[in-house]
Amino acid sequence: MPQLSDRVKSTFASPFRKFLPLAQQAKDRGTQVIHLNIGQPDFLMPKGSLDGIADDYLKYIPYGDAEGQMPLRKAWCVYYEKFGVALKADELIITCGASEGIYFTLMAVADAGDEIIVPEPFYANYNGFCQMAGVEIVSIFSAIEDGFPIPDIDAFEKAIGPKTKAILLSNPNNPSGKVYDLKMLQSLAHLAKKHDLFLLVDEAYSEFIYENYEFNSALTLPGIDKNVVVIDSISKRFNACGVRVGAIASRNTDLLQHIARYSRLRLSPPMLGQTFATRALKLPAEYHVQLRGGICRPARNHTPTAQSDGECLIPRTRGRLLPLCPVAY
């Protein structure tokens, strides 16, 4: 029998997918299953956002530009203005979800055997992407019992070694919901510059900030244009995970041009998804304001001080609420 590669056999299996057959078995037994294993939001995507979308593709669906369609790249830059980010269209390329963006970025900033610092807890698929790229994760521990505090800057500095190429974080953090304030981002920027590291920030959840707390994009940090790379996604902010559209944004255009070598290998991001994303990003900001008031606030109000709800720990957060259950699998 032909043998599979050692590489694929040793690749970290996505823990989310691992749960699915177990959940299905429970459903088959008649048990109600609430899915906490995957970040699929439960609000409505923008009304009418799919109307007439196929009209652009009546005869065929072509490949598009490998780096993404220009109207979408421009729309994304305009959308970023609400976070105080001024970005040009050639400083953002479109990817097949943030997932591809993370993988392409890792491939471009680190060689096999290099290290990336990632504060815990982190989005579990970072493990798999790093493994695919041959990159080692050096994690910084933080405990669920302490409410998953963001590690202090000294802990980041201590983790830096001769092989470190980048710091990778998600802001707001998935799964803890912790949000990096401006001061901490500035400290990280200073550290990245001091040690010549890339600062990779996954901002997939930037719309999921409670009440009046301010979200600071890493793209607003001055003086470290060559170091900062933001990875972003349409998935969560419009509850459109299946359109598979994300972005890599950086003022380091040399890096983006190198990443485009990978983009060109997979030819084109999805065209229908890009049409959807272009429309959605042009929606009035009111869509997310309502979302925050209608969904996040009641959810937060129900757990104002809760650190523990039975076996379910709900850390106090300023962003993205997700109960965390310690499980063995």
Ligand X SMILES: Cc1ncc(COP(=O)(O)O)c(C=O)c1O
Task: Yes or no: say if 96 and 247 are a contact pair by the CB < 8 Å rule.
Answer: no
Of the pair 25, 40, the CB lying nearest ligand X is at 40
Does 98 sit near ligand X (CB under 6 A)?
A: yes
Nearest residue to the partner ligand X, using Cβ? 97
| The one among 99, 105, 250, 252 contacting ligand X by CB under 6 A | 99
Does 127 sit near ligand X (CB under 6 A)?
A: no
| The one among 202, 207, 230, 269 contacting ligand X by CB under 6 A | 202
Residue 10 Cβ vs ligand X, minimum distance, rounded to whole Å: 22
**Part of the chain binding ligand X (CB under 6 A), chosen from 46-54, 61-69, 233-241, 270-278:** 233-241
Phi then psi for residue 204, to 5 deg, are -55, -25
| The one among 49, 176, 233, 263 contacting ligand X by CB under 6 A | 233
Residue 176 Cβ vs ligand X, minimum distance, rounded to whole Å: 11
Residue 206 Cβ vs ligand X, minimum distance, rounded to whole Å: 11
Binding mask 25-64 for ligand X (x = CB under 6 A): --------------x-------------------------
Does 250 sit near ligand X (CB under 6 A)?
A: no
Does 65 sit near ligand X (CB under 6 A)?
A: no
Give residues in contact with ligand X (CB under 6 A).
39, 97-99, 123, 170, 174, 202, 204, 233, 235, 241, 246
